[in-house]
Amino acid sequence: MDLAGLITDPATLASLSHDEAEWAPTGTPRAAYRPQSTEDVQRAVRECAASNVPIVPRGAGTGLSGGANATDGCLVLDLSRMNRIVEIDQDNLVAVVQPGVVNDDLKKAVAAHGLWYPPDPASSPWSTIGGNVATNAGGLCCLKYGVTRDYVLGLEVVLGGPVEYGTKVRLGRRTAKGIAGYDLTSLLVGSEGTLGVITEITLRLRPAPRPAGTVVGAFGSLVEAGRAVALSTRRGLQPVALELIDRACLQAVEDWKHLGIEPDTEAMLLARTETPEDADGLVTAFTDAGAVWTERSTDSAEAEALFAARRLTYPALERLGPLLTEDVCVPRSLVPAMLARIEEIGVRHGVQIATIAHAGDGNLHPLLITPPGDDNARIAAQAAFEDIINEALALGGTVTGEHGVGLLKRDGMVRELGPEVCAVQQAVKHALDPLNLFNPGKA
């Protein structure tokens, strides 16, 4: 391929060949390329089309489903150098960014103008907006403020298919509303790099967030915590975030940091609220559902301390071994039922499972812990992973709430969508990428 600056050094290629999904298959790329501009991307796509080389776009590689993993012989397109904030338009609540801008960097830049970009995946200190858009990333505050798709107004994309490979187009708009033609912008969001390469993103912003308070409740059983979530919904409360952590998470955090979490606490709910009415309502709902204790604070240091267990869960569990991260979502009223099934699955397969959940959304992240180097444990964890997917589908749920399909959820997606919808998906893929060059074999 005739591209200046192609990377072929094996060590660099290896580091660019996968995301953070455990045990997802990884191929060997032919080369990697770090475009500095849209024109660079166009050139790369044209070259790949001429030589029939698959293209695997990637950002920071913080994904958890293998969506950015290389396929054999591909060109890895690392967009992290296209990291310019092109524009922040305070009057129209719009930001225009290149795909390599890191989520937290954008948050900081718009905050300086009194504005807010809400999507807050846990990876926000490292993950890029391009990757967030490709996977339609969620986070904690999507309970009240929506996911990445809700903030993408328009895209500049390098396409193939019905136009010549390497053609740059603008999809969407920068106005608040606009419905001319099919919503190709939403089609591209969450398409995991399989329909084209996103080179610029026009984002909707919000006014600065209002100061948030924190409400925490400790429960003697998962069922009571589930009831508290259901009561909050029924009573029309609108917390910004409503998180659940189970006993296994609390235990791992306590063993590590000795925060003084009572050993009879089976589940903890942590909420952020924007109004005193919502905070009052949550305390009452938690209490009515049988909370052992509740606590609330509007002081930010105190709030930080109350959320410590949530923040420390992932690192506390990682000390125990590699984590296989699940991402199922069920109707929110079925969170307690799903938690019970996850527990059964863990017992059945002899796998240690700790669960954090965006409980208000019904989005659960069971974390399957595997002792390092134990192959049987890995196989058991992978079997448990598939069982969790099947149980979520049986409850009317989905195989991925916010992490994406990538490689780990492909079979699950087929089971969720059924053959007819998969045929429609493939027809759309074929219409936009007839050569099957964009991230083949994903999503």
Restricted to residues 108-147, the positions that interact with a copy of itself (CB under 8 A) are 114, 135-136, 138, 142-143, 146-147
Q: Which residue number, 17 or 398, has a Cβ lying nearer to a copy of itself?
A: 398
Position 186, amino acid: S
Round to the nearest angstrom and report the end-to-end CA distance of the chain.
27
What residues from 179 to 238 belong to the interface with a copy of itself (CB under 8 A)?
179-184, 186-187, 189-191, 195, 207-208, 230, 233-234, 236-238
Helix, strand, or coil (residue 161): coil
* Closer CB to a copy of itself, 186 or 297, in the complex: 186
Q: How far is the CB of 206 from a copy of itself (least distance, A)?
A: 8
Instruction: Give the binding-site size for a copy of itself (rule: CB under 8 A).
Output: 89
User: What's the min distance (Å) between Cβ of 372 and a copy of itself?
Assistant: 31
Q: Is 362 in the site for a copy of itself (CB under 8 A)?
A: yes
Binding mask 273-312 for a copy of itself (x = CB under 8 A): ----------------------------------------
Nearer to a copy of itself, 35 or 172 (CB): 172
Minimum CB separation from a copy of itself for residue 29, in Å? 25
User: Cα(30)–Cα(41) distance, rounded to whole angstroms?
Assistant: 17
Binding mask 150-179 for a copy of itself (x = CB under 8 A): x--------x-xxx---x-xxx-xxxxxxx
Q: Specify whether the backbone of 417 is left (phi greater than 0), alpha (psi in -120 to 50) or beta.
A: alpha
Looking at beta carbons only, is 287 or 333 nearer to a copy of itself? 333
Smallest distance from a copy of itself to CB 131, Å:
13
297/273 Cα distance (integer angstroms): 10
- CB 14 → a copy of itself: shortest distance, Å? 29
Considering only 48, 324, 330, 377, the residue that binds a copy of itself (CB under 8 A) is 330
Chosen residue from 14, 86, 259, 427 binding a copy of itself by CB under 8 A: 427
* Nearest-approach distance from CB 196 to a copy of itself, in angstroms: 9
Q: From the list 25, 125, 315, 331, which residue makes contact with a copy of itself (rule: CB under 8 A)?
A: 331
In this structure, what token pair is assigned to residue 64? 């958890």
Give the DSSP per-residue string, 377-437: HHHHHHHHHHHHHHHHHHTT-BS-SSS--TTTTHHHHHHHHHHHHHHHHHHHHHHH-TT--
Q: Which is nearer to a copy of itself, 18 or 365 (CB)?
A: 365
Q: Which of residues 47-106 bind a copy of itself (CB under 8 A)?
A: 89-94
* Residue owning tokens 């089971």: 415
Radius of gyration, alpha carbons of the chain: 22
Contacts of 418 (CB under 8 A, 6+ apart): none
**Beta carbon of residue 183, minimum distance to a copy of itself (angstroms, whole number):** 5
Hey, which residues between 5 and 34 contact a copy of itself (CB under 8 A)?
none
Contact 155, 200 (CB under 8 A): yes
Nearest-approach distance from CB 189 to a copy of itself, in angstroms: 7
Task: Please tell me the distance from the alpha carbon of residue 171 to that of residue 195, in angstroms, as a whole number.
Answer: 13
Q: How far is the CB of 56 from a copy of itself (least distance, A)?
A: 18
| Structural tokens at position 129 | 């907006």
Stretch that binds a copy of itself, among 47-55, 78-86, 314-322, 417-425 (CB under 8 A): 417-425
Q: Which is nearer to a copy of itself, 222 or 309 (CB)?
A: 222
- Which one among 18, 30, 43, 429 touches a copy of itself, defined by CB under 8 A? 429
3-class DSSP state for residue 322?
Answer: coil
How far is CA 384 from each of CA 166, 314, 373, 395, 436, rounded to the nearest angstrom?
A: 42, 19, 18, 17, 32
- Locate 243 and state its tokens: 């998180």
* Pair 61, 68: CB distance under 8 Å: yes
Q: Which stretch binds a copy of itself (CB under 8 A): 9-17, 67-75, 244-252, 395-403?
A: 395-403
Q: What is the dihedral sign for C-alpha 306, 308, 310, 313?
A: negative
Collapsed DSSP state (helix, strand, coil) of residue 180: coil
Nearest partner of 140 among 405, 409, 402, judged by Cα: 402
The nearest distance, CB 258 to a copy of itself, in angstroms, is 34
| Single residue of 31, 324, 329, 381 touching a copy of itself by CB under 8 A | 329
Distance between alpha carbon 335 and the CA centroid of its chain, in Å? 19
Q: Closest by alpha carbon to 437, among 48, 28, 13, 44? A: 48
Based on CB atoms, which residue is closest to a copy of itself, 233 or 390? 233
